[in-house]
Homo-oligomer: A and B are copies of this chain.
Amino acid sequence: MTKKKMKLGLSIRYMGYHVGSWRHPDVPADGSSLFRSFLNVVHTAEKAKLDMVFLADGIGVRLDDKPKGSMSRSRHNVELEPLTLLSALAPLTHNIGLVATASTTYNEPYHVARKYGSLDQISGGRAAWNVVTSWSDQEAWNFSMSRQLDYDTRYERAHEFVDVVTGLWDSWDEDAFILDKQSGIFYDEKKMHVLGHVGKHFSVRGPLNVRRSPQGRPILVQAGVSEQGQQIAADYCDMVFMAKNDLKSAQDYYASVKDRLEAVGRKRADLLMVLGLTPIVGRTREEAQEKYEQLESLIDPVVGLSMLYRSFGDLSHLPLDGPVPKPDLDKVGLKSSAQMYYDLAQKQNLTIRQLYKKIGMAQEHKTVVGTAADVVDEMESWFEQGAADGFNITPTHLPHGIDDFVALVLPELRKRGRFREDYEGRTFRENLGLPVPPSRYDRASNSAEARLAG
């Protein structure tokens, strides 16, 4: 019997999720500005038949310098813009899905629909958009705003934004273009659709000036854990990127998102949930532990505290080996992280130093230290117990984090029949085994309900 296979991606943030990754002796210190360092790891991921490469994003440089001295020690400064980078990677890859983050807070839906639509054409149907809202004043200040939008407005805007983008992607039926050189007819008027969206945040007429996606529409990814984020996922998305450290809360979240699907007319299998996972793997447990300790030693305390700043404020007046104080959730920028970090500290009884070391290792992602068998045991356990449909690998440092995963963990996963030997399809959607969502104009003509609603 063929076992159910996992989905696997490579998630990239600078040269790794570890806050001091650039200091690792094996990492190019300026790698996040170098195209070739990204090309290198993406080629590794594609050769290994991973489903996707996933690029996170932020739209600004944090200038708090809290605690003092942390800023000039942080790699959170310069990088390549994700959509530009993925576009450059597109013609140099052939099968791997290309996921770029773009914010719904400081963009226009027409630009987003158009750029991802174009990337999808260029890549032959491998484009994906990770839908996020932007949560910091630091970013707002780069976009002529004095402060960020409040949480509810951000998510309300995000929901409408995604609705507009998916509508624009339905502008042209697949067979709209007649291209008859003799008669001079370029397209069939009946197969072009004018969106005519008028909403609270946007008015967008359309149509989009990009033809229909080779995969029906680009893949949509979402990562927000809030009620509103989960609803966007259920209404529109193909994939959810989860950051969970304990099985129970992952299972609850997994079920909570999947349970919403039936109400919107979708199947549970139509949305994939992938968990962020940082394996620190050795040929022996001792070797893995040594790698872990080397990485821990690269976390400067002042940078560690700066990572807690947005969730807890400045903690530098407190003893590093004392308890983690409760955050004021009404005041912090990144509510979900603050809650997660505090819960983690409570559950594992962590000091401030222990907490920042944990977060500094791989941000909020689950870390497993051990042999390939240890890592795969843990992956299978979560996979079989309804906590994840797959994993988005969030390596501490690159390229070694992905090299190790491919050399050590993948063979074990394949031995157990848990990962593909080769790509099954042509597009990202086909490789994910997901259905093509019907055009909203097909739905409208096939459904009396939609006709009435329209």
Q: What is the bound-complex CA distance between A172 and B207, given in angstroms?
A: 40
- Closest CB of chain B to A397's CB: distance in Å? 12
0/1 string, A348-385, CB within 8 A of B gives 1: 00000000000000000000000000000000000000
Q: What is the bound-complex CA distance between A187 and B32, given in angstroms?
A: 14
- Closest CB of chain B to A16's CB: distance in Å? 14
Q: Which residues of A in the span 53-107 have a Cβ within 8 Å of any Cβ on B?
A: 58-61, 63, 71-75, 77-81, 83-85, 87-88, 90-92, 106-107
Q: What is the bound-complex CA distance between A260 and B75, given in angstroms?
A: 42
The verdict on A194 contacting chain B, using a C-beta distance below 8 Å, is: yes
Q: Contact: B80 with A110, CB < 8 Å?
A: no
User: Which of A118-126, A227-235, A271-279, A309-317 lies at the binding interface?
Assistant: A118-126
A81-B210, A91-B39 given; A185·B71 CB < 8 A: no
Q: Contact: B60 with A209, CB < 8 Å?
A: yes
Residues on the B chain within 8 Å of A203, using CB? 141, 144-146
Copies in the complex: 2
Residue in contact with A78 in the complex, picked from B77, B177, B202, B303, CB distance below 8 Å = B177
Residues on the B chain within 8 Å of A146, using CB? 203
A39-B91, A206-B142 given; A300·B184 CB < 8 A: yes
The verdict on A179 contacting chain B, using a C-beta distance below 8 Å, is: yes
Q: What is the bound-complex CA distance between A143 and B110, given in angstroms?
A: 7
The verdict on A108 contacting chain B, using a C-beta distance below 8 Å, is: yes
* A-B CB contact pairs (8 Å), 23 listed: A22-B179, A23-B181, A23-B184, A35-B91, A58-B209, A59-B209, A61-B208, A63-B194, A63-B205, A77-B187, A78-B172, A80-B121, A83-B84, A84-B118, A84-B122, A87-B87, A91-B91, A107-B111, A108-B143, A110-B142, A110-B143, A141-B204, A144-B203
Residues on the B chain within 8 Å of A61, using CB? 171, 192, 206-209
Q: What is the bound-complex CA distance between A91 and B93, given in angstroms?
A: 12
Q: What is the bound-complex CA distance between A79 and B92, given in angstroms?
A: 21
Q: Contact: A115 with B83, CB < 8 Å?
A: yes
Residue in contact with A71 in the complex, picked from B115, B117, B145, B189, CB distance below 8 Å = B189
Nearest-CB residue, chain B, relative to A87: B87
Q: Contact: A118 with B85, CB < 8 Å?
A: yes
Residues on the B chain within 8 Å of A204, using CB? 141-144
Residues on the B chain within 8 Å of A29, using CB? 179, 181
Give the interface residue-count category, chain A. Answer: 35 or more
Q: Which residues of A in the span 172-205 have a Cβ within 8 Å of any Cβ on B?
A: 172, 177, 179, 181, 184-189, 192, 194, 201-205
Residues on the B chain within 8 Å of A211, using CB? 30, 33, 78
The verdict on A291 contacting chain B, using a C-beta distance below 8 Å, is: no
Q: What is the bound-complex CA distance between A145 and B77, given in angstroms?
A: 34
- Closest CB of chain B to A186's CB: distance in Å? 6
Q: Contact: B122 with A186, CB < 8 Å?
A: no
Q: What is the bound-complex CA distance between A44 and B152, given in angstroms?
A: 52
0/1 string, A19-46, CB within 8 A of B gives 1: 0101111000110011100010000000
- Closest CB of chain B to A346's CB: distance in Å? 30
Q: Contact: B179 with A30, CB < 8 Å?
A: yes
Residues on the B chain within 8 Å of A142, using CB? 110, 204-206
The verdict on A285 contacting chain B, using a C-beta distance below 8 Å, is: no
